[in-house]
Amino acid sequence: MTGKKKLPIGIDIFEKLDREEFYYVDKTGMIEDLLQNRSEVNLFTRPRRFGKSLNMSMMKAFFEIGGDPALFKGLKISERKDLCEKYMGQFPVIFISLKSVEGLSFTAACDALKTVIGTEAFCEAFLEQNPEKIEEIFSDYLWNNCKVMLG
């Protein structure tokens, strides 16, 4: 490294963010806030390119089963050993980004959303090693696509 850090423009996956190479504002305190304030729904509003996806990816990396605890070494949340032991790596997580959901019509956008959700559900079924769920999702996918192609 040359001593100068770069701006992490375009990096929205927490696991890919090398904190030695890029500037990173530690927002892991948000995890503690979420756990202490317990709401049914949390809305994260920020302007475009302001780190919403990176924050969501950070939370996924924290909560998801099989996550790497080393990613949080030296960050604010790591000071809360009780929360880390109780919550880190303990949950199945479905993370859906709406970045790729676009279309020139409402129907096209709905189809793109269905694809995003279906892909995430399919991946989750594989992680759970649930053959019945995989078969059901795949069957629904084929049926829906065959209906579209046949008109």
* pLDDT for position 148: 46
Tell me: the pLDDT tens digits for 17-72?
888 888 888 999 999 999 998 888 877 777 677 778 888 899 999 999 888 999 99
Q: Are 12 and 70 found together in one domain?
A: yes
Q: Are 9 and 36 found together in one domain?
A: yes
Q: Are 81 and 101 found together in one domain?
A: no
Q: Are 46 and 80 found together in one domain?
A: yes
Q: In the listed set 53, 69, 95, which residue is the last one of a domain according to the structure?
A: 95
The CA angle 110-55-28, to the nearest 5 degrees, is 155
Name the DSSP letter for residue 91. B
pTM check: above 0.75: no
The CA angle 92-87-128, to the nearest 5 degrees, is 15
Q: Report CA-CA distances (Å) from 35 to 32, 38, 66, 88, 118.
A: 5, 6, 20, 12, 28
Total structural domains within the chain? 2
Q: Token match 């694809």: residue?
A: 115
Q: In the listed set 95, 119, 143, which residue is the last one of a domain according to the structure?
A: 95
Cβ atoms of 117 and 110 within 8 Å: the answer is no
Per DSSP, the three-state class of 12 is coil
* pLDDT for position 92: 80
**Residue 22: which residues within 8 A CB-CB, separation 6 or more?**
5, 6, 7, 8, 11
* pLDDT for position 60: 92
* pLDDT for position 151: 45
Parent domain of 13 = 1-95
Q: Are 88 and 135 found together in one domain?
A: no
Q: Are 14 and 72 found together in one domain?
A: yes
- In 22-130, which ranges are continuous DSSP H helix? 29-37, 52-63, 81-87, 106-127
Tell me: the pLDDT tens digits for 100-146?
788 888 888 888 888 887 777 777 777 777 778 777 777 776 666 55
Q: Are 128 and 70 found together in one domain?
A: no
